[in-house]
Amino acid sequence: MKYLKVYTLFIGLGLLSSFSFSEEVEEDTVQPSNPQELLEIVKQGQFADTQQQREREAQFRNEKNKQAKLLADAKDERARLEREAARLEQKFEANEALLVVAEEQLRERLGSLNEIFGHLAGNATEARNIMEQSITAAQFGKDREEFMTALGSKMNEGIKLASIEELETLWYELQREINASGEVVKFNTGVITVDGNVEDRDVVRIGNFNVVSDGQYLTYSPSRGAYSELPSQPAGRYTSQTSDILSGNSFPVQFAVDPTGPQGGSLLASLISMPSTWGKMQEGGFVGTILQIIGVLATLLFIWRFYQLWNMRGSVMAQANSATLSDDNALGRILRIAEEDKEADTETLELKMAEQILKERPSVEGLNWVLKIVSVVAPLMGLFGTIIGMIETFTMITLFGTGDPKTMASGISTALVTTWLGLMVAIPTTFMYATVNNISRGILGTIEEHSTGMAAKRSEGTE
């Protein structure tokens, strides 16, 4: 039993050793079958561990020696770099002192040339800015802009003087731009159409104000260095003049020039970017659309009623001046009652004619009341649209604040356009109603006058 416990202990130690050194022992190692084999295995493991430890210690010592050498080399390199830095710092300070002396000498030698550098740099920069936006750039090209840029950069450095050729070129370009402002020149160049294509066209440049093609005003596109069509053109009486000046061989030729802005054409560009009257009407929303429809219908109704009443008035006036009765007009139908019933007394005759007048009144007054309603309702609808626009404006203010006016522009535009449309419908409709109502009253007055006269004659005859 004692040997069995010892044997079991050795087996346990062997298993622990095999677990500790699993990297060194292969999976197919023969398991010990007795204490002697186990002792032999433990002995071999201790020998292997000792050998491995000696190898690791030797490797560690080698690495330690290498680290020490690297540390020593790094310290030497640091000392060398510190000495180099000190030397370069001394050299920098010496060069800086020399640079100060050299700059002072340069300023003394340049003298008033510094002012010339400043003037040349300023003139070149200003000329470049003008020429970049000038409508003459498409004709003269971008080489002059590149020259102005290079000259301005050179003068800003203040080291080299401008050459005689550069000064002459600067003078030439400035003089050419001045001369171009008073010229009317026709030439062929590429024009960018509205859809983005480039077409070769004959164009006329009027000074540095406007460029026109046949029937069109053009604008200059600095980014592409070419003329381009405007998205929309001014009134036809202006565009017709572009053809005259394009085909004209002698002067003077009547032509509309827009000299506004630094290079001309600013007013034209602003005007064409503004919405048309029809575009403004579309900003009124659904209320504006309803007002437009009402206005059109009211106008058509007025035209129809005016035509009817004018013909009716002509027939009544013709009947009033004629002794022959006719049934194609209201007055003739009323007077025929008296003619057909000669035996009736005056009171009866008046009642019959009054009845006929009441029958004729609807056809005379007709739909005049519709025009009156439109003249009253249109301003109220405009006010309704104004309220809608202001609600939209305050909603935008609540969401985005008042920092960007563009967020409020839509609501304000709706409010103003609907008010404008309401008044634009109401004011003419008021005059329309007054016109047809006056004609209707005139017709009824003529009918009543002659009816009363007929009754008075009958009364006198009876007496």
3-state secondary structure of 386: helix
Q: Which domain holds residue 212?
A: 186-258
Same domain assignment for residues 242 and 364: no
Residue 444: closest CA among 331, 328, 285, 324: 331
CA dihedral angle for residue 155, residue 160, residue 161, residue 166, rounded to 10 degrees:
-70
| CA quadruple 6, 11, 16, 20: dihedral sign | positive
Work out how many domains the chain is built from and give that number.
4
Helix 35-110 × helix 113-133 angle, to 10° = 110
Same domain assignment for residues 14 and 43: yes
**Angle at 377 (CA atoms; ends 373, 382), nearest 5 degrees:** 155
Residue 407: closest CA among 417, 416, 422, 397: 397
3-state secondary structure of 256: coil
**Residue with the larger pLDDT of the pair 379 and 348:** 379
Answer whether residue 268 is part of any domain. no
Same domain assignment for residues 132 and 169: yes
Answer whether residue 384 is part of any domain. yes
Q: Is the pLDDT of residue 1 over 60?
A: no
Min mean pLDDT across 149-153, 166-170, 189-193, 279-283 is at 279-283
The whole-model pTM stands at: 0.49
Q: What is the DSSP letter of 264?
A: S
Q: What is the DSSP letter of 100?
A: H
Same domain assignment for residues 298 and 407: yes
Helix 330-340 × helix 346-365 angle, to 10° = 160
Answer whether residue 92 is part of any domain. no
Q: Evaluate whether 202 touches 246 at the Cβ level (below 8 Å).
A: yes
Same domain assignment for residues 17 and 146: no
* 247: CB partners within 8 A, 6+ apart: none
Domain boundary among 159, 181, 203: 181
Answer whether residue 91 is part of any domain. no
Same domain assignment for residues 356 and 227: no
Q: Is the pLDDT of residue 185 over 70?
A: yes
- Please give the C-alpha separations between residue 256 and each of 211, 215, 217, 428, in angstroms, as whole numbers: 11, 13, 11, 34
What is the pLDDT at residue 434?
92
Same domain assignment for residues 290 and 424: yes
What is the pLDDT at residue 273?
59
Same domain assignment for residues 452 and 377: yes
Same domain assignment for residues 298 and 311: yes
Same domain assignment for residues 48 and 119: no
Q: Is the pLDDT of residue 51 over 60?
A: yes
Q: What is the DSSP string of 321-354?
A: T-SS--TTSHHHHHHHHHHH-TTS-HHHHHHHHH
Q: pLDDT tier at 264 (50, 70, 90 boundaries)? A: low
Residue 215, phi-psi category: left (phi > 0), alpha (psi -120 to 50), beta (remainder): left
| pLDDT tens readout for residues 60-116 | 888 888 888 888 888 889 999 999 999 999 999 989 888 888 877 777 766 666 677
